[in-house]
Amino acid sequence: MSHLVPQHSLIQNTRIAHGTHGDGEPVVLIHGTPSSSYIWRNVLPELVHAGYKVHVFDLLGYGLSERPWDPDIDTSVTGQVPILEGLLELWGLNDLHVIAHDIGGGVAQRFALHSPDRVRSLTMIDVVSFDSWPSKRTHEQMQAGLEALIKAPDADHRAHFRDWLLSTVQNKTRLSETSMHTYLDYISGPVGQASLFQHQVRHYVPDHTNDVAPRYGELGDLPVQLIWGAEDAWQVTDWAHRLHEAIPGSELHVLENCGHFAMEDQPEQISGLLIDFLKRKG
| pLDDT tens-place string over residues 126-147 | 999 999 999 776 766 666 666 7
Within-domain flag for 176: no
How much is the pLDDT for 144? 64
How much is the pLDDT for 147? 72
Q: Does pLDDT of 148 surpass 90? A: no
**Local confidence band at 3 (pLDDT 50, 70, 90 cut-offs):** confident
The distance of Cα 216 from the centroid of its chain, to the nearest Å, equals 19
Cβ atoms of 54 and 44 within 8 Å: the answer is: yes
Q: Which structural domain, as residue segments, surrounds residue 65?
A: 7-132+206-281
Tens digits of per-residue pLDDT, 180-189?
999 999 999 9
CATH number at residue 59: 3.40.50.1820
How much is the pLDDT for 149? 75
Within-domain flag for 139: no
Tens digits of per-residue pLDDT, 216-271?
999 999 999 999 999 999 999 999 999 999 999 999 999 999 999 999 999 999 99
Mean predicted lDDT score pLDDT of the chain: 95
Q: Does pLDDT of 1 surpass 60? A: no
Within-domain flag for 168: no
Within-domain flag for 143: no
Tens digits of per-residue pLDDT, 62-118?
999 999 999 899 999 999 999 999 999 999 999 999 999 999 999 999 999 999 999
Alpha helices in the chain (DSSP H): 44-49, 77-91, 103-114, 136-142, 146-150, 154-166, 172-177, 180-186, 189-195, 207-210, 237-246, 262-265, 267-281
Q: Count Cβ atoms within 10 A of the Cβ of residue 75 and give its class: 0-12 exposed, 13-18 middle, 19 or more buried.
A: buried
Total domains present in the chain? 1
Within-domain flag for 75: yes
Within-domain flag for 56: yes
Within-domain flag for 197: no
Within-domain flag for 174: no
Residue 137, number of CB atoms within 10 A of its CB: 13
